[in-house]
Each structure stands twice: as structure tokens, then as C-alpha cells.
Amino acid sequence: MNTAQSFRLLLLVAVVLTGYRAWVIGHLGIDPYVDEAYYWGWSQALDWGYYSKPPLIAGMIAASEAMLGHTLLALKLPSLLCYPLTALVLHALGDRMFTARVGFWSALAFLTLPLVSTLGLFVSTDAPLLLFWALGIYGLVAARDTHAWRHWLLVGLAFGLGMMSKYTMIAFAGSALLVLLAEPGGRRQLLSLKPWTALVIGVLIFSPNLWWNVANDFPTFRHTAEITRLESRGWAPGEFVEFIGAQWLSFGPLLTLGLLWAFIRTRRLWREDRYRRLLLFVLPLLLLVSFQALTGRANGNWAAPIFVAGCVLVIAFLAESGRWRFAISAVLLNLALGLTVYHWPDIARIGGIELTAKNDPYKRARGWSALADELKPVLAAHPDAVVVAKDRELLAQIIYRLQPRDYASWNPDGGVADHYQLTTDLNRYRDRPVLLVSRSGLIDDVAGRFDSSLALGEIAVPIHRNFERRVSVFLLTGFRGYPE
């Protein structure tokens, strides 16, 4: 199978799989997950930055909705497209570094990763991050071979856009520098203008977000520091074990074994430029986030970029070791696991298994549309009211579904823990009635700051026997401001 044949076959597989995932989204009957609704709100007020992330995901959602309208598919389209595009880049990378066959199966391995199968149904900042990470690796590998300006410019473009996707992209720069330092030819290239021009281009692309942070007292940087617990460190072996388990689940059972086997052979692989380059885009970030998990906190997806080079590394290593059957079996097993997760509600129904809060993996994306349908007439009856909620998830879902004219986060302490607390202030609406939507019927702490309060009732949306969406709605007037 030559390059053109493998590319055409991969393109066909990518189109079919992406179309299938789009169908699965509708088949599952799910609503947006909290972060998706949150990002959608950002896309309605485009800016150079937001509280927890850089702005690219908001721009992508806005562009998607401009083409397809306010639909669930439009919301999820950026992720649906980014993953197959990343696979196409990996095909080119594997082909360039090894063979067309390695490129094809590396791309297919990526497309069927449990991580990608899961994230492929939800829009997230990881989708563009992985795409630009892959483009950056390809550009760097090509630049080392050709010394061409166009490849260094691709590195700079990928780095800048990756930084505008998620700050994890900063680790790409570290790995790229290690790749150059590890090779005599790379060290010579560091003495030329090309890599530094690439860096300048990346920084220039990222600079609007940097300026936005400066103008807003660095909210995204502060948030990043808080979630990584930079100020408080301690040994947390339990979190480390949980993080390693998440990597195993994300990469798949057999592919993980292949990766561990490659790690065991690191000393031998290090002697070859192509394997060393891949290892340097896997090991540093994996070790860094593993240490972070051991001494503080690390979410399972924080090391997601390692799987980009990891797919090529494992497939190439297994191919060279004569283990093609193992490599293909690893990919097929991951595909089967993805199909099982996608069709778990169907499997449960056929098997007579009742879906509950414990065994429904999609429970957090259920019931929001029905809740909004119940809330809609309440909002319509009070068109001048400001919608207020205490928690980010509830407010994000209400904004996505009902698009109220004015809304605010209840924030008596004046702290900033999400984008709503950063950008809204209830004090602006002292002369307006407030519709408070609360998960609890006990709102004495809120009602005490108003002249009057009226309970409008409860809304309950059953989802499973032991799981429901339930909120209480209150009409409040005469806001007196937050306590001093």
C-alpha cells in the first residue's frame, strides 16, 4: 500500500467514522455537557480571552453556528472535525518518518483511541490542541530534514494556534527544544534565524490573549495556577494511581502495553533520530504531569498530547518488532471499546439492564432540554427579570437553552471562580426583578439581600429511577446589594 492508497483509504475511514459519531450524538439523545454550554456562551461574546481558557474554541463554535445555526451538531462540529484532521496529519507524519503503512495505522490508532472516542462526542479545547500539536511535530520533523522556511513557519503557526487553544501547548515548545538540542544538526539550526522566527510567530499569534490577561488581571493564568495547585504541594499517591489509570484507559489496554514495551526499549530507540524525536514528545510531558499528580492534582486529560506522538511511536515500534498482528489487534480492540461505550444504552436495554445514575456514562448530559422547556414559560412571564444562579453548570445550561437577555452569577464574596463571576455583576440590575434558579429550596442567604421574595415553585425532570434534575425558582425584587 503506497502513500496515495493509504491516504485515500484513511480519508474514507475518517469520513465514515466522523459521520457515524455525528449520528451517535443524535441517537444517544444527549444534551450539551456543562463545558460545552459554557463555551457556547463565550462564542456569543467573542473576545481575546476567557476566565479558564484561551479564545480559539469560542471562535470555532461561533464559526460553526454561523454556518449551521444554533444546533447541537453545530456546537459539537469543531471536535468532530479536529480529530479526523489530526489523524490525517499523523498519517503524513508516520509516512514521512517510517512507511505509508505505519502512517495509516498510526492515524487509525489515534482515531479509535478511547480518549478520542469519548472526546469526539463533546466539544473541548483538547480537540484543536491535539490538531496543532500534531501539526507542530510534523513541521519540526520536516524542518529537521529540509531546513526549509515553510516548515519552520508551520511550526510557528501551530505553536501559536495551539497556545490559543490551551496553555498545555507550552510543553510543545519544551519538547521541540529538547529535540533540537539532542541532535548535532538541531543544535546548528538553533544558531540560525529559522527556529527563533517560528517562536516569534507563535508568540505574536498568542499575544492578543496575553494582552487580554494583562488587561483583566491575569484571570486565565490565575485559574491555571489554582487548578494545578502550584502554591500547595504534598504527596498524593492516590491521585497518581488514578492519573496513571486514566492514561491506560485513554490509550487503550493493548496500545498501552505496546507503549510500555517501547519505554523499556528506550535506550535502544534513543539511538535513532526518528524514535528519539517521538520519545521527546511523549516522555517529558508524561513525566511532568505524573509528578504533578503525585504532588498535587492532575486531570486525566492533561497529558493528552502525549498520545499524538505515542500512536506513531507504538505502531512503528511494533511494526519494526514484527508485531503487526498485535498492533492491529490493539486498534481493533479500541474500536470495539468505543462502539460499546457509544451503544451502552442499547446494550443495556437489550440485556434488560436498567440505566441508573451509576451505570449511565451520559447522565451529566441528560435532562437539560426538558428542564429548559419547563423553565421557559416562567422566564416568558417575567421578561424584565435578570436570571441568576449560584453555580456555573446551571447558569451555563440556562443561557444555552433559553438565551435570557440578562443574567448574573450570585457572588456575594466578590471572588472569581468562573467566567460569569468575572463578567457579570448583579449590582448593575438593582432596579430589576430577579429570577433565581436554585438547586436548593433554601435561599435565606439570598432572600435576605432583597426587599421581597416569592417562591414560584419547583421543577423536577426525572431521568432515571435514582436521578433527576430538580430546581426551585424564586422571584426576588429590591436587591440591596451584597453585604460589606
Q: What is the pLDDT of residue 310?
A: 97
Q: Where are the beta strands (DSSP E) in 324-406?
A: 386-389
What is the pLDDT of the chain when averaged over all its residues?
Answer: 93
Grid cell digits, residue 170: 507550552
Residues 6+ apart with CB under 8 A from 66: none
387 has which bridge partners?
Answer: 407, 435
CA distances, 41 to each of 32, 44, 366, 379, 479 (Å): 12, 5, 19, 18, 25
Question: How many contiguous H segments (helices) and E segments (strands) does the chain have?
Answer: 24, 5
The CA angle 270-128-124, to the nearest 5 degrees, is: 115
Domains in the chain: boundaries? 3-345, 367-479
pLDDT tens for the chain, 484 residues long, are 788 899 999 999 999 999 999 999 999 999 999 999 999 999 999 999 999 899 999 999 999 999 999 999 999 999 999 999 999 999 999 999 999 999 999 999 999 999 999 999 999 999 999 999 999 999 999 999 999 999 999 999 999 999 999 999 999 999 999 999 999 999 999 999 999 999 999 999 999 999 999 988 888 888 777 666 555 556 767 788 888 888 999 999 999 999 999 999 999 999 999 999 999 999 999 999 988 888 877 787 889 999 999 999 999 999 999 999 999 999 999 999 999 999 999 999 999 999 999 999 999 999 999 999 999 999 999 999 999 999 899 999 999 999 999 999 999 988 888 899 999 999 999 899 999 999 988 898 899 999 999 999 999 999 999 999 999 999 999 999 988 7
Phi, psi of 345 (to 5 degrees): -60, -35
Q: What is the pLDDT of residue 228?
A: 65
Q: What is the pLDDT of residue 229?
A: 57
Q: What is the pLDDT of residue 415?
A: 86
Is residue 303 within 8 A of residue 228, CB to CB? The reply is no
Grid cell digits, residue 123: 466539544
Stated pTM of the model = 0.95
Q: What does the pLDDT look like over 335-366, one tens digit per residue? A: 999 999 999 999 999 999 999 999 999 999 99
Phi, psi of 451 (to 5 degrees): -70, -35
Residues 6+ apart with CB under 8 A from 214: none
Phi, psi of 84 (to 5 degrees): -65, -35
Listing from the earlier edge strand, what are the strands of the sheet with 434-438? 407-409, 386-389, 434-438, 467-479, 450-464
Rounded Cα distance between 42 and 75, Å, is: 12
Listed as own residue / partner, the contacts of 267-272 with beta carbons closer than 8 Å and 24 or more positions apart are 269/317
Of the candidates 190, 79, 65, the residue with the CA atom closest to the CA atom of residue 129 = 79
Rounded Cα distance between 456 and 332, Å, is: 54
DSSP state string for 63-132:
HHHHHH-S-HHHHHHHHHHHHHHHHHHHHHHHHHHS-HHHHHHHHHHHHT-HHHHHHTTS--THHHHHHH
- Count CB-CB contacts under 10 A for residue 340: 11
Q: What is the pLDDT of residue 306?
A: 97
Q: What is the pLDDT of residue 285?
A: 95
Grid cell digits, residue 20: 457515524
Grid cell digits, residue 200: 516569534
Q: What is the pLDDT of residue 109?
A: 97
- Count CB-CB contacts under 10 A for residue 253: 13
CA dihedral 453, 455, 456, 458 (to 10 degrees): 150
The helix-helix angle for 149-163 and 170-181 (nearest 10°) equals: 150
Of the candidates 271, 263, 242, the residue with the CA atom closest to the CA atom of residue 309 = 263
